[in-house]
Amino acid sequence: MRIPELFGRGKPVFSFEFFLPKAAGDMGAFKATVLELKKLEPSFVTLTYGAGGSARERTIETAGALKNEIGIETAAHLTCVAHTRAEIDAILERVRGFGIENIVALRGDAPKDGPTAPLDLRDFGYASDLVRHIRKLDHFAMAVAGYPEKHPEALSVGADVERLKEKVDAGAHWIITQLFFDNEDYFAFRDRARAAGIGCPIVPGIMPVTNFAQLRRFTSMCGAKIPLEMGHTLHPIQADPKAVVEYGIEHAVRQCRALLDAGAPGIHFYTLNRSASTATILKLLRKHS
């Protein structure tokens, strides 16, 4: 199934993101989490991309297992910053061999364990170059990333929307946003995108809060902000894991309901390879829908 066909059917599209386990020995626990969340019948899942060496092959094989062994529609993440055109073509051929028809096309970050060619010498300088190349194959539907609070490297919100439009014009079919915690950031981002002529679905990405230190680390990396009210609530309870998780669930349910009520086409949950919070949130959303 090509995932864009799921949108516009009158009901929210719920999806989950998983990341590749760092160690092969963690695969059993990973599959147990996926099977637990499969019971919630997500529309699809995505799997982040391990670019280097054995991680690359394990990513492709794991995406194939999600699709064919576990039986969930899967979109495979693919980054291009460190790949040649020949390498990308080989990866796409392997992914296609598993019957996967959907790609999340990303530039990616420069690898920490090796040099990256200068921009003018890369086959793919930007995610839009990857999207344009994949589109030529006429096989994959593609998602790209959007940044409600602006990509950390973008010079301005205007320039950021221009880059997003380049990706959509190159052939992307839907947008998944970076995590955020203030819905006004999503609504403003959606309005900017529509004003720029971007008409495809813009799916908000939501990360349930489960750990305050982890939250601060993630937001600092991706350029998202922690709303003052959230910070003030979490700071005094940060040493109480149960209280943090309960707050994270309550906040995410309120956030998701408001997003869906305002016309968001679905919710993409950043699960962090855990099932409990995401399962509780989705059950509550469906109970009151």
The Cα 155–Cα 134 span in angstroms is: 27
pLDDT averaged over every residue in the chain: 94
Q: Is the pLDDT of residue 19 over 90?
A: yes
**Residue from 233, 232, 204, 209 nearest 219 by CA:** 209
The Cα 25–Cα 27 span in angstroms is: 5
Q: Which amino acid makes up residue 255?
A: Q
The phi and psi torsions of 176 (rounded to 5 degrees) equal -115, 125
Could you tell me where the DSSP H helices lie in the chain?
A: 27-38, 53-68, 85-97, 127-137, 157-170, 183-195, 212-222, 228-234, 241-261, 276-287
pLDDT digits (tens, 9 = 90+) for 70-121: 999 999 999 998 899 999 999 999 999 999 999 999 998 876 666 666 677 7
Q: What angle do CA 68, 69, 72 make, to 5 degrees?
A: 60
93 flagged as catalytic: no
Question: What pLDDT is attached to residue 25?
Answer: 83
Q: What angle do CA 263, 202, 58 make, to 5 degrees?
A: 135
- Per-residue pLDDT, averaged over 224-245, amounts to 97
Q: Which fold is adopted by the domain 3-287?
A: TIM Barrel (3.20.20)
Are 102 and 73 in contact by the 8 Å Cβ rule? The answer is: yes
pLDDT digits (tens, 9 = 90+) for 131-154: 999 999 889 999 999 999 999 999
Question: What pLDDT is attached to residue 54?
Answer: 65
- 174 is written with which tokens? 């839907």
- 175 is written with which tokens? 């947008």
Quick one: pLDDT band at residue 52, thresholds 50, 70, 90? low
Question: What pLDDT is attached to residue 173?
Answer: 98
Among 17, 73, 101, 149, the active-site one is 17
Question: What pLDDT is attached to residue 113?
Answer: 63
- Per-residue pLDDT, averaged over 218-240, amounts to 96
Please list the residues that pair with 179 across neighbouring strands.
Answer: 205
SS3 content of the chain, % helix, strand, coil (to 5): 50, 15, 35
Which DSSP letter does residue 156 get? S
Q: Is the pLDDT of residue 50 over 90?
A: no
Question: What pLDDT is attached to residue 53?
Answer: 60
Share of the chain above pLDDT 70, in %: 95
Instruction: Kindly report the number of other CB atoms within 10 A of residue 192's CB atom.
Output: 17
Question: What pLDDT is attached to residue 15?
Answer: 98
Q: Which amino acid makes up residue 102?
A: N
The region of weakest confidence among 45-59, 168-182, 203-217 is 45-59
Q: Where are the domains of the chain?
A: 3-287
Q: Is the pLDDT of residue 24 over 90?
A: no
Please list the residues that pair with 77 across neighbouring strands.
Answer: 104
Quick one: pLDDT band at residue 23, thresholds 50, 70, 90? confident
pLDDT digits (tens, 9 = 90+) for 156-179: 999 999 999 999 999 999 999 999
Question: What pLDDT is attached to residue 111?
Answer: 67
Quick one: pLDDT band at residue 217, thresholds 50, 70, 90? very high
**C-alpha distances in angstroms, 85 versus 80, 129, 130?**
9, 10, 9
CA 88 to chain centre: 20
DSSP labels for 170-186? HT--EEEEEE-S-HHHH
The Cα 183–Cα 175 span in angstroms is: 16
